Amino acid sequence: MPRAGNRRKKTRTHVVENDAQNALVSNEVLKVPKSLIVRRGKVESEVSQLVDDLRKVMLPYTALNFKEDARNRKHTLSTYSKELALPMGVSHILAISQNVENVNLRLARVPEGPTMNFRVTKFSLVKNVRAVQRRPYSSKGIHQNSPIVVTNNFGDLNAPPHVKLMRITFQNMFPAINVATVKLNQCRRVVLFNYMEEDNMVELRHYAIKATPVGADRKVRRIVQTKIPNLTKLDDIADYITGTTASGNTAPSASTTTGNASDSEPEDETSHVVLAQKYSGRGNGKQQKSALKLVELGPRMSIKLLKVERGMGQGDVMYHALIKKTPEEVRELKERKEKEMQLKTQRRVTQEGNVDRKRQAKEEKLARKRQRREEHQEAAMDALRKGTASNSGSDNSDDASGSEGSSNADSDDSSNNDDDESDDSS
């Protein structure tokens, strides 16, 4: 039945991009770094909470709800790299462990390294940071985009190699920001890595960016940003702005009407900027003047670099903060490691040859056993066929003798009939 009404009109609005643009987009997606934060061995509850807080810092390109199996707590970094990191597209692994004295952090680049070993000297959890804040910042919805990375005091091109390696690694843990195409609403967090050269330590801080409109009275700004305050004791909202009532009495303070306003809050005039785009929050529109402020979210962590290894924690030592070796000792150690690796490779080849030889012998044994079984089955079938043939020959001879007996019996019957006929005639 034909369709009633007018002819259908196509309303497709999508645009098919060319192959070059698709390839560019796919490459950009593949270049986004992803992290995996795990805990190895038995740790205290505070360290487990630190792992969860670090995963929130690394959002959205990390496994937030990753669960470690108790049977696999002693997996090495190479095992995590082969079984989990490479199939999931992970680029960095952060492993936190604890012994009797210290909390250790190992940061490895997948799949070829290097691996940096840190000692966590002190840390504070998110709940500890919020407990000392006067007005804790609500972090709801700000983890949808990756944070801005700031590396401070890491030096220039003349910095030591291990310091350069730390700076490059910290920067590559997070996706790069394209200044030409980034949107202000995506810049909601900041991760700060501050290097202290005298102690060879790195401080980690996590902040939220808060924008507040300026150019208006504090009370007006409170009305714009929050809900309308309690005006039950006022005759007009103008009394709330001016601070007096119609009767001449002093109006309730901002802290009693809004619960958030405070005249003791400092304002940094140097942080005032004109927004090029609309930003999160009320009153932060395009071309509006706003004050930017950093509010700490946590966690805090101070780490000290102890050792840098080549590969996934199994190569030679590139840097050590506690042990210093001469070039001769380094050369001797490297030669010894090479001999150990050669011996290990030779043992592996010998073991694989023994395994192949045993497997081949087992297959040959199974083949011989299968051949003997088939020969036995064939012999049994031949014997069965011969028995069947002999039995059929004896049955034929018995049938022949039976037919001769029946013919004799018939002749006897005929002679008896003749005798009977002769008796009747007499």
Q: Does the pLDDT at position 191 exceed 90?
A: yes
How many percent of the chain have pLDDT more than 90? 31
3-state secondary structure at position 95: strand
pLDDT digits (tens, 9 = 90+) for 212-241: 777 655 655 565 555 566 666 776 666 666
> Against a cut of 0.75, is the pTM above it?
no
| Distance (Å, whole) CA 14 – CA 83 | 39
Q: Which residue has the tokens 């005929």?
A: 414
pLDDT at 5: 63
CA 24/CA 7 separation, integer angstroms: 39
| Rounded Cα distance, 276 and 179, in Å | 13
Which residues are registered as beta bridge partners of 337? none
pLDDT at 194 over 90: yes
Residue range 383-395: average pLDDT?
A: 75
In the predicted model, is pLDDT for residue 20 greater than 50?
A: no
Measured in degrees and rounded to the nearest 5, phi and psi for residue 412 equal: -65, -40
**What pLDDT is attached to residue 167?**
93
Region 343-366: mean pLDDT is 93
pLDDT tier at 419, thresholds 50, 70, 90: low
Bond preceding residue 160 cis, omega within 30 of 0 = no
At 207, the pLDDT band (50, 70, 90 cuts) reads very high
Backbone angles phi, psi at 189, to 5 degrees: -135, 160
Choose among 17, 220, 201: nearest CA to 105. Answer: 201
Residue 381 pLDDT > 80, yes or no?
A: yes
Query: Which amino acid is located at 341 in the chain?
Result: M
Mean pLDDT across the chain: 77
| Sequence-distant (≥ 6) Cβ neighbours of residue 117 within 8 angstroms | 104, 105, 106, 305, 306, 307, 308, 309
What CA–CA distance (Å, rounded) separates 58 from 93? 12
Least confident of 24-38, 116-130, 284-298, 390-404: 390-404
Two tokens, residue 366: 């199974």
Among the residues of 75-125, which ranges form H helices? Answer: 77-80, 86-88
Q: Which residues have a Cβ under 8 Å from the Cβ of 133 and sit 6 or more positions away?
A: 295, 296
pLDDT score, position 11:
63
- pLDDT value at residue 119: 94
